[in-house]
Amino acid sequence: MTDLAAVKAALKTQAVETPSWAYGNSGTRFKVFAQQGVPRSPKEKLDDAAQVHAVTGVAPTVALHIPWDKVDGPDGYAGLAKHAEERGLRLGAINSNTFQDDDYRLGSICHPDAAVRRKAVGHLLECVDIMDATGSKDLKLWFADGTNYPGQDDIRARQDRLAEGLAEVYARLGEGQRMLLEYKLFEPSFYTTDVPDWGTAYAHCLKLGPKAQVVVDTGHHAPGTNIEFIVATLLREGKLGGFDFNSRFYADDDLMVGAADPFQLFRIMYEVVRGGGFTADVAFMLDQCHNIEAKIPAIIRSVMNVQEATAKALLVDRGALADAQAAGDVLAANAVLMDAYDTDVRPLLREVREEMGLDADPLAAYRRSGWAEKIVAERVGGQQAGWGA
């Protein structure tokens, strides 16, 4: 039997980090459809994120992306952190970007030219400086590095360069800071990607040391990959640093988490819970692109989807499951898991929210807030935020 009070208590502790870039414009190589009311600055992104946290109560931190969220001027990142704090938020992981300068055409930290590698490592070190300024704990590294054609570069030499660059950045990490290394099957590279799978990320993190951990982006796998297996394995190895949640039907579609395969999301969250990963040591981050839908409501919906999957995972009757597994009763074991999944947890989450002093329906609360109309009216002119410096 599951202890409902404990489930509710756990759900109240949940923290989902939203990404600053999801509040800005995004698209595909074919088109970026601009939307009205999109933030024009990091502070405006935080303003939007504050709305998400206000109605969900479980989105207290915001990931930054450098240089998209680069701030200059007298108060700099301290001012940004203060802006966040005044809105009930904290700044979260710092995401590096070594793919948008012309220099990075053939890679960054793995580039054949040492000067480009130097520049890339310099950027990563600067990101640690920013972490010092913002109090961020995690440096999240995703490298677009790779090649498009067989023979274009030497696969192994690129691994050597990668290891060397990562080591330098690792050495710079301070107490309580971590490096989260993300892997991705492909895109924007189409033949090799220098960190293509969890095994590669794991092998590098293992050599770097305990501050290096693997990040699982749920959209970065080959078709048919069992992601919850990877989650279970990384937790068993003590190497799961966190998630970039989103969902996909085909490639790295970056849709709202839970939109494409809610059962998979539940299975992932079950392995998180089962493996002792539902703690502050595992960062639960979103990484989505809201290309055609309204952005803030989409993020609220995503947070709610994570909550629902988590609630179902927490509801699994683990004693009954263990008994059925030990007995080798395939159908009974599957039924225990499915019983939790088939449960409609929305009433439970409404209760949780009310007990947290929130509206039971975050989307309705957001709609009533008038924020959507306000930003459309006020954010006129200027340069909308997007995937650019």
- Residues in 114-153 that interact with a second copy by CB under 8 A: 144, 147-153
Indicate whether 226 belongs to the interface with a second copy (CB under 8 A): yes
Q: How is residue 315 annotated by DSSP? A: H
| DSSP tag of 66 | T
- What's the closest the beta carbon of residue 274 comes to a second copy, in angstroms? 7
Question: Is the CB of 135 or the CB of 262 nearer to a second copy?
Answer: 262
Q: Which of 298/375 has CB closer to a second copy? A: 298
> Which residues inside 42-71 make contact with a second copy, applying CB under 8 A?
none
Residue 263 carries which side chain, given as an amino acid letter? F
Residue 20 touching a second copy (CB under 8 A): no
Q: Which of residues 67-106 bind a second copy (CB under 8 A)?
A: 99-100, 102, 104-106
Return the residue of 40, 41, 135, 186 that touches a second copy, per CB under 8 A: 186
Give the per-residue contact string, 338-367, with a second copy (x = CB under 8 A; - = no).
x--xxxx-x----------------x----
3-state secondary structure 106-175: HCCCCCCCHHHHHHHHHHHHHHHHHHHHHCCCEEEECCCCEECCCCCCCHHHHHHHHHHHHHHHHHHCCC
The full length of the chain comes to 389
Q: Which stretch binds a second copy (CB under 8 A): 87-95, 270-278, 352-360, 376-384?
A: 270-278
State yes or no: residue 333 binds a second copy (CB under 8 A). Answer: yes
Does 278 interact with a second copy (rule: CB under 8 A)? Answer: no
State the DSSP string of 239-271.
-EEEEEE-B-SSSS--BPTTSS-HHHHHHHHHH
With b meaning 16 or more CB within 10 Å and e meaning fewer, what string describes 345-356?
beebbeebbeee
**What are 332's two structure tokens?**
């009974």
Residues forming beta bridges with residue 32, ordered by sequence position: 27
Interface pick for a second copy out of 87, 118, 274, 350 (rule CB under 8 A): 274
* Binding of a second copy by 184 (CB under 8 A): no
Site for a second copy in 161-180 (CB under 8 A): none
